[in-house]
A and B are shown apart, each in its own frame.
Chain A
Amino acid sequence: MANTRFIFQVLHVIAWIFFVGLCIEAGGIIVNFVFSIYNPEFVSKLYQKLDLSELYNRSKWIFFSMYSFIIVIALLKVLLFYTVIMLLLKLDLSKPFSSFVSSQISQISYYTLSIGIMCLIAAQTTKNLDHHGYDVERLYQFWNDGKAFILMSAVVYVISTIFKKGVELQKENDLTV
């Protein structure tokens, strides 16, 4: 049990590191987005030097939709890790089957599935744009892990379903005298 507790503490620290990193990334992308509209020359000095001015000049609609994909995926990843942190913070290993833990695990599976689907749609859109001669080579890095997220969401969904049943059994056990 002490070993498990230690592993959970390490996981908590790792989740915090990921969360802070993803917050910085999401913030950097949003700042990039604002600068690429109002001051495009300055973008080359910013985070990841994500200069999509060519897209902006060719089609504003494509520019905004691609940036929307990037920002929404980044924010969903932040939300995902925030949920993981909350789960690890409030998880009581002596009594894990609570409705809070069950709902948090369900939320994690929904966020993961959303990220996976968004990544797949965005990757397909980028491929199409590439095919039509747009310079979107740098965008692939934002959605190259869509399939992994979908697989992960399936696994987490199975775990959340098992947890729901566990919560039911725990409630029944609590009401058995």
Chain B
Amino acid sequence: MPIVVNLDVMMAKRKVSLNELSERVDLTLSNLSILKTGKAKAVRFSTLEAICKVLECQPADILEYVEKN
């Protein structure tokens, strides 16, 4: 998919673990893992809002469009 999820990069920058993020965002570990590995088909605005709030970043820091060759 041309949309790349950079959640792991932001998590590393903010030094937040997957467990901690899962607790603070109120998402299950499996759902967060689906998002992190790029398997997700869609992201709710509420989820994006919560992640951005916890990681203190913009949606563009998490989602990136990469042209597919």
Contacts and interface: CB of A to CB of B under 8 A. Distances in A.
Q: How large is the interface on A (under 10, 10 to 19, 20 to 34, 35 or more residues)?
A: under 10
A173 B55 CA distance: 25
Nearest to B43: A177
B40 interface: yes
B27 interface: yes
Interface in A144-177: 171-172, 175-177
B13 interface: no
Of residues B27, B39, B42, B43, which shows the largest number of chain A Cβ atoms within 10 Å of its Cβ? Answer: B42
A125 B51 CA distance: 70
A53 B39 CA distance: 66
A175 B44 contact: no
Of residues A172, A176, A177, which shows the largest number of chain B Cβ atoms within 10 Å of its Cβ? Answer: A177
Nearest to A175: B41
A175 B43 contact: no
Interface string B7-36: 000000000000000000001000110110
Contacts of A172: 41-42
B58 interface: no
Contacts of A175: 34, 39-42
A177 B25 CA distance: 11
Contacts of A171: 41
B39 A176 contact: no
A175 B42 CA distance: 7
Interface of B: 27, 31-32, 34-35, 39-44, 47
21 contacts: A171-B41, A172-B41, A172-B42, A175-B34, A175-B39, A175-B40, A175-B42, A176-B40, A176-B41, A176-B42, A176-B43, A176-B44, A177-B27, A177-B31, A177-B32, A177-B34, A177-B35, A177-B40, A177-B43, A177-B44, A177-B47
Nearest 7 A-B pairs (CB), nearest first? A175-B41, A176-B42, A177-B31, A177-B35, A172-B41, A177-B40, A175-B40
